[in-house]
Amino acid sequence: MLKQAFARHPKIAALLAGFASATGFAPLNLWPVTLACLAALLVLIERAPDRRAAFSRGWMFGLGHFTLGLNWIAHAFTFQDSMPHWFGYGAVLLLSLYLAVYPGLATLGTWWLSRTKLPSLSGRGRGWVGERSEPLSFPLLFSALWLATEFLRSTLFTGFAWNPLGVTLLPTGAAIGATLIGTYGLGALTILAASAFLLAVRRRFRPAVILAAPLALLALWGLLSPAPATPVGAPRIRVVQPNIGQDEKYSVEAEYRNFRKLSTLSGQPRPAPRLIFWPEAAIPAYLDMEPDWRARLAHLLGPNDLLMTGGDKVYFKPVEENGALVNKLSGANNSVWIVTPAATIAGRYSKAHLVPYGEYLPMRNILEPIGLSRLVPGDADFWPGPGPQSLTLPANPGHPALKMGIQICYEIIFSGQVIDPANRPDFLFNPSNDAWFGSWGPVQHLAQARLRALEEGVPIIRSTPTGVSAIVDARGHVVHALGLNRAGFLDAGMPPALPPTLFARLGNWAPGLLMLMLLGAALALRRAKS
């Protein structure tokens, strides 16, 4: 019956397989289902009669895959009144219609390359090699092209790297492979594992073992690899989660209550030094312009403490109104500030990778007149900062001289773009505002942050208003966490960084080299069998 359904309604089968494949992401983490659905996609590509069918089947798979995986985006529309709330579901669909192009390109490319005649070693040209002949070249082609198109998805048109396929491997231990080949390389290995499953079903056990072996070895390595122990005397950190919802965040009436939550959860000053972390946009103040606010924050700190908090940096321009010059808001940076006990600013980082429609409105001159606006309140767009930086925290008798990298919210999802390789940090701070991400978005966000810790070999500290706040060690393990919709704090020692990983040294050249190896192996096998 299942075979008949595949044959009669291949596009519907692809759509349903794609929809089910997204259950491998958090919070469900049903990664075996993802593998089975990818195996079904392989069958559909193999049986595609032409290029149009090959593309449309991949595109339908992607449509189902992204529609379920990105359902949390619809929740964001409930926090603004400029557009109807139901439009959130339309936004998810529209975004998925675009993102599905990338799996479609991968399936089209695989179909086309598998049928392109190659010069034969024996002089006999041959077309595609499929299920009944050479069993390895087709999966190798698909894994290489999936890797390539997933990288393109993360870079074109500012990129949207959310939910890369490799993140489904986090529960297996095989995600430790990110230290070698990065997130996009893990996606390719996931395709190979799905192909191994399909070959095992077809009783082609030898090639199935060959394709499954890399993932199995990585899983064993990951399960046996010990977590880096936090040394005695490590710097103390306090991560604050105030449980301030998006509906309260911009309320003037709630400003005092919100600050009291943050200050209470930060704890009383103590002789031992602390690094205190507050969420993205935690305070409504402009710290470089409001000394009273800096004094207010400094009052919460002990003599050797430092506070890292999100807050905007704003810019004004003189505009003539009614014959007089007035300063009008022209733009802002979404920033993190380092506040000292002396009420001074020891450093600032500004977010570089901004969220379209969240922090700025693309093509504002066109979209604003037809009623579209940003999802986050504000009249002026945010401006991007210069990119990854390492800020040196002020050293004193209680603090070692630590280097802190910062990635604000959405920035953390971009593999290979989170640290300054010339000035490697001791840890990454990832303040975020996930309060408008529903219940699926925050846990998916944390999963992707864990991959960055693995790739770079540095711990990550996440502070969010409503969860999930966490301390992640350099092996991607969640050491401590605060769940959704609860107020609290994490008080712990700073996990140590590890030596730079292979991926940290090579960046996305590492998965790029893997892609070339897979592609070369696939074409070599085809030629050898021709």
Q: What does DSSP assign to residue 224? A: H
- Distance separating alpha carbons of residues 53 and 14, to the nearest angstrom: 11
| Residue 19, CA distances (Å) to 12, 60, 163, 333, 519 in order | 11, 9, 14, 37, 28
Q: Could you give phi then psi for residue 390, rounded to 5 degrees? A: -115, 120
The one catalytic residue among 249, 261, 313, 351: 351
**Is the separation of the CB atoms in 372 and 360 below 8 Å?**
no
SS3 content of the chain, % helix, strand, coil (to 5): 45, 15, 35
Q: What does DSSP assign to residue 70? A: T
One-letter amino acid of 350? S
Question: 3-state SS string over 80-116?
Answer: CCCCCCCHHHHHHHHHHHHHCHHHHHHHHHHHHHHHC
Listed in sequence order, the DSSP H helices in 49-177 are: 51-69, 73-76, 87-99, 101-115, 137-153
Instruction: Determine whether 455 is exposed, middle or buried from the number of CB atoms within 10 Å of its CB (0-12, 13-18, 19+).
Output: buried
Q: Could you give phi then psi for residue 194, rounded to 5 degrees? A: -65, -40
The one catalytic residue among 403, 409, 411, 455: 409
131 labelled catalytic: no
Taking the alpha carbons of 126, 127, 133, 136 in that order, is the dihedral positive or negative? Answer: positive
403 labelled catalytic: no
231's CB contacts (< 8 A; 6+ apart) are 493, 496
The one catalytic residue among 150, 280, 455, 456: 280
- Distance separating alpha carbons of residues 384 and 399, to the nearest angstrom: 31
Cα Dmax for the chain: 86
485 closest CA partner among 514, 464, 459:
464
409 labelled catalytic: yes
- Distance separating alpha carbons of residues 85 and 91, to the nearest angstrom: 10
- Distance separating alpha carbons of residues 46 and 131, to the nearest angstrom: 8
- Distance separating alpha carbons of residues 462 and 403, to the nearest angstrom: 16
Q: Which residues are catalytic?
A: 280, 351, 409
